[in-house]
Amino acid sequence: MRKDYLLTPGPSAVPADVLLSMAHPIFHHRTSRFQAVLKETLARSRRVLMTENPVAIMASSGTGAMEAAVANLASPGRRALTLEGGKFGERWGELCDAFGFEHEAIKVEWGRAVDPGIVEEKLAADNSIAAVFATQCETSTGVLNDIEALGKIVSKTKAVLVVDAVSSAGACELRTDDWNVDVVCVGSQKGLMLPPGLGMISVSPKARALVEATENRRAYYFDLVKAMKSAAKDDTPYTPAIALVIGLNEALKMIEEEGLEECFARHRLLSKAVRAGLEALGLELFAERPSESVTSVRLPEGLDGAALVKTLRDVEGVAFAGGQAALKGRIMRIATMGYCGKYDVILGLGALEMALAKAGIDIELGAGVRAAEEVFLKG
Amino acid sequence: MRKDYLLTPGPSAVPADVLLSMAHPIFHHRTSRFQAVLKETLARSRRVLMTENPVAIMASSGTGAMEAAVANLASPGRRALTLEGGKFGERWGELCDAFGFEHEAIKVEWGRAVDPGIVEEKLAADNSIAAVFATQCETSTGVLNDIEALGKIVSKTKAVLVVDAVSSAGACELRTDDWNVDVVCVGSQKGLMLPPGLGMISVSPKARALVEATENRRAYYFDLVKAMKSAAKDDTPYTPAIALVIGLNEALKMIEEEGLEECFARHRLLSKAVRAGLEALGLELFAERPSESVTSVRLPEGLDGAALVKTLRDVEGVAFAGGQAALKGRIMRIATMGYCGKYDVILGLGALEMALAKAGIDIELGAGVRAAEEVFLKG
């Protein structure tokens, strides 16, 4: 009798109300009925991303939103900084390469956060830098970069700050306008509690001006000028993923009903409990500056980490993520994003305790759960 | 952000595959398409109830199936024994009263099991006893009565053994034919992993002969002769609850895919872990002979048990059952029936630990979860 629990950093669990909203019979998108849904969804998106900038919703994964940012900003003579402390930071570099955006990669050891001071120095030294591509939550390492600090630095220059918030939006504090973030790129299958398939992007006036000045823009499907013009009319340039938009509206409604600050606080508490639980089991946390949406932990030496994660997922039905690239088998990642509550943390730690004990690791059964419970009881 | 967990002894959690099977567009029941489904469902029902007797499926709750048994067996001059050790045992008495079935109630203190020896004595002393009405799992107390022993005793007499297996079928071992159970009454919303709405009843040749000899049967909707005739043709006398039958077929398929013996073993293990967890928290188990589908536990003196259960359900989203009648506020009941796995037990115990600590009860956080994990690791 199999029962599945999804504690992976995307896709994450989708609430029943969202699933049911998407299960209604499909209707045509060029109708006032759909436009009303889209209008509401776009307004909610702006509120949840804490921005008055227009937000466009696209049928794409989060990477599509990232590509939109790069493709529309890459222009001869412009340079970029890509902040690369993991697989997704490196994706910014790969996208810049693909679109001929000359860039300097600021490489950060996996598990460490980007030092905003270095970004400040680079910007001061090179006046041709037009964009800084950053990652809020580096999903591959569980690091939460300091976007507020980066915003303070970048906003003083002519460069725009572009943030991959794919695995943080709707979970970690992200005050787009207050923090001077010019472009936010989001995917649907993480904190926003949807299946994969939607990308979102918000664009500040400063970024829009830069996009409009781009020479020879290599963008059609991801044309941000077109996307922004459509968004301003509560419309989309191409066929929207109707059911997913309906689901997004429902999911955003749930976030707003919970309250955005309460939602951030919940993720803070959940991730704090996960960290406490892992440390109580004698495990070492991996991220220097831990995200509230995904927690990475070093696995004990000598343990076959990939096998542990595979058994938990395939035999036990409790899905965590393993490490990626060089971290494969060495770390494990536990998501607390979106539709996640205290009891997911409890059962996840319980599953991990049993799996570690079975693998012959000397841990105290129940100690991780106890530590998490103590965090929850303190609130 | 609310997330609900159903650990109540009916309704119990319904698997997604069952829910989805019921969400298909409805079709007419007087068709070969539905008859094929019903035929398969009836065959599966017989296998899961471990009987070659015909099984009828009715649109009713489990109480409807119980009523069918009483209404069809009550006849002038016949007497019955009702074994009453809780709310559902007492229901047999109430049904006999309603249908004029003269009966002697064997009252058992709530929390204790029926002593089969007493039933043997009563049967030996009174030749007019035509039916013994028993409860396998007494849901109100968490007691599992010894149906095998009762079957050995009753089968030697002219009386039939009628068993309320509403909260045990599909969870606790019930070998209808091997144990000489004449009539089994089942409801859908417990071990069978369905929403409420279906009743099932199996009838042995001995019981059928008795039903056919009943004078002045007060049964129309619940007419067992009609029901058995229809069942023999893979049909129903009245409109079947189409979607629920489709769901039942899917649920029974899941049980058969798991394996019936494996399913019983899972429930044994889950309930053993619950008991170990509760005892590790210093709580006293309530049932003398504990069921594998629901575990009852005494709540600490001075604790407002009803408030505890209410808070867990309404605030935490973790639904257990409180006590009924005289046990209200004094015991709590934790179900492990149907679509239930290890991690439900872990999260349930975690929720209980935190709730008890919050209520000021001196318990060791994590101790219950640890004890459950130890049971699971031993298998």
CB nearest to B254's CB, from A1, A23, A377: A1
Rg (CA), chain A: 21
Q: Confidence class of residue B206 from pLDDT cuts 50, 70 and 90?
A: very high
CB A287 within 8 A of CB A272: no
| Structural tokens at position B278 | 């509760």
Measured between beta carbons, which residues in chain A are less than 8 angstroms from residue B2? Answer: 341
Question: Is the pLDDT confidence value at B2 over 90?
Answer: no
CB nearest to A365's CB, from B316, B353, B373: B373
Q: Confidence class of residue B63 from pLDDT cuts 50, 70 and 90?
A: very high
Cβ neighbours of residue A255 closer than 8 Å, sequence gap 6 or more? A48, A170, A192, A193, A263
- Are both A238 and A373 inside the same structural domain? no
Nearest chain A Cα to B375, which residue?
A354
Complex prediction ipTM: 0.92
Q: Does A258 sit within 8 Å of B1, measured CB to CB?
A: yes
Considering chain B, what percentage of its residues have pLDDT values greater than 90? 99
Q: Does B343 sit within 8 Å of A347, measured CB to CB?
A: yes
Q: Confidence class of residue B68 from pLDDT cuts 50, 70 and 90?
A: very high
Mutate to test the interface with A, among B261, B369, B374, B376 (most CBs of A within 10 A): B369
- Are both A175 and A297 inside the same structural domain? no
Q: Is B70 helix (H, G, I), strand (E, B) or coil?
A: helix
| Structural tokens at position A135 | 């990652």
**Across chain B, which distance is largest between two alpha carbons, in Å?**
62
Q: Confidence class of residue A2 from pLDDT cuts 50, 70 and 90?
A: confident
- Residue A8 has a pLDDT of 97
Q: Confidence class of residue B370 from pLDDT cuts 50, 70 and 90?
A: very high
Measured between beta carbons, which residues in chain A are less than 8 angstroms from residue B318? Answer: 343
pTM for this one?
A: 0.95
Euclidean distance between CA atoms A30 and A51, whole angstroms: 27
Question: Is the pLDDT confidence value at A251 over 90?
Answer: yes
Measured between beta carbons, which residues in chain A are less than 8 angstroms from residue B358? Answer: 377
Q: Does A3 sit within 8 Å of B339, measured CB to CB?
A: yes
Q: Render pLDDT for B77-124 as a digit per residue (tens, 0 to 9).
A: 999 999 999 999 999 999 999 999 999 999 999 999 999 999 999 999
Question: Is the pLDDT confidence value at A192 over 90?
Answer: yes
- Residue A268 has a pLDDT of 98
Measure in Å the smallest separation between the Cα of B313 and chain A Cα atoms. Answer: 13
Number of separate domains in chain A: 2
Q: What is the CATH number of the domain that holds B344?
A: 3.90.1150.10
- Are both B336 and B196 inside the same structural domain? no
Residues on B contacting A at a C-beta cutoff of 8 Å: 1-3, 5, 15, 23, 254, 258, 263, 266, 316-318, 339-344, 346-347, 350-351, 353-354, 357-358, 364-367, 369-371, 373-374, 376-377
Question: Is the pLDDT confidence value at B219 over 90?
Answer: yes
Measure in Å the smallest separation between the Cα of B354 and chain A Cα atoms. Answer: 6
- Are both B57 and B193 inside the same structural domain? yes
Considering chain A, what percentage of its residues have pLDDT values greater than 70? 100
- Residue B37 has a pLDDT of 97
Euclidean distance between CA atoms B299 and B294, whole angstroms: 16
Q: Render pLDDT for B222-233 as a digit per residue (tens, 0 to 9).
A: 999 999 999 999
Q: Does A351 sit within 8 Å of B347, measured CB to CB?
A: no
Q: Which of A243, A258, A273 is the last residue of a domain?
A: A258
Residue by residue, DSSP assigns B318-350 as EE-EE--GGGTTTEEEEE--SS--HHHHHHHHH
- Are both B156 and B282 inside the same structural domain? no
What does the pLDDT average to over A230-236?
A: 95
Q: Confidence class of residue A201 from pLDDT cuts 50, 70 and 90?
A: very high
- Are both B329 and B366 inside the same structural domain? yes
Euclidean distance between CA atoms B318 and B314, whole angstroms: 8
Q: Which of B207, B234, B257 is the last residue of a domain?
A: B257
CB nearest to A343's CB, from B318, B342, B373: B318
Q: Is A186 helix (H, G, I), strand (E, B) or coil?
A: strand
Q: Which of B257, B292, B308 is the last residue of a domain?
A: B257
Measured between beta carbons, which residues in chain A are less than 8 angstroms from residue B377? Answer: 354, 357-358, 365
Measured between beta carbons, which residues in chain A are less than 8 angstroms from residue B371? Answer: 366
CB nearest to B343's CB, from A263, A350, A377: A350
- Residue A122 has a pLDDT of 98
Q: Does A350 sit within 8 Å of B369, measured CB to CB?
A: yes
- Are both A112 and A26 inside the same structural domain? yes
Mean pLDDT of chain B: 97
Euclidean distance between CA atoms B32 and B86, whole angstroms: 43
Nearest chain A Cα to B5, which residue?
A343
CB A372 within 8 A of CB A348: no
- Residue A112 has a pLDDT of 98
Q: What is the CATH number of the domain that holds B85?
A: 3.40.640.10
Question: Is the pLDDT confidence value at A269 over 90?
Answer: yes
Nearest chain A Cα to B356, which residue?
A377
- Are both A281 and A236 inside the same structural domain? no
- Are both B270 and B252 inside the same structural domain? no
Mutate to test the interface with A, among B315, B343, B345 (most CBs of A within 10 A): B343
What secondary structure letter does DSSP report for B7?
-
User: Counting one residue from A and one from B, how many pairs have CB atoms under 8 Å apart?
Assistant: 110
CB B350 within 8 A of CB B367: no
Q: Render pLDDT for A356-365 as a digit per residue (tens, 0 to 9).
A: 999 999 999 9
Question: Is the pLDDT confidence value at A1 over 90?
Answer: no
Measure in Å the smallest separation between the Cα of A183 and chain B Cα atoms. Answer: 28
Supply the range of the domain harboring residue A125: 16-258
- Residue A206 has a pLDDT of 98
CB nearest to A365's CB, from B266, B351, B370: B370
What does the pLDDT average to over A30-56?
A: 97
Q: Is A329 helix (H, G, I), strand (E, B) or coil?
A: coil
Q: Does B366 sit within 8 Å of A369, measured CB to CB?
A: yes
Measure in Å the smallest separation between the Cα of A309 and chain B Cα atoms. Answer: 16
Q: Does B370 sit within 8 Å of A3, measured CB to CB?
A: no
- Are both B190 and B311 inside the same structural domain? no
- Are both B127 and B67 inside the same structural domain? yes
Cβ neighbours of residue A271 closer than 8 Å, sequence gap 6 or more? A290, A291, A292, A293, A295, A336
- Are both B250 and B269 inside the same structural domain? no
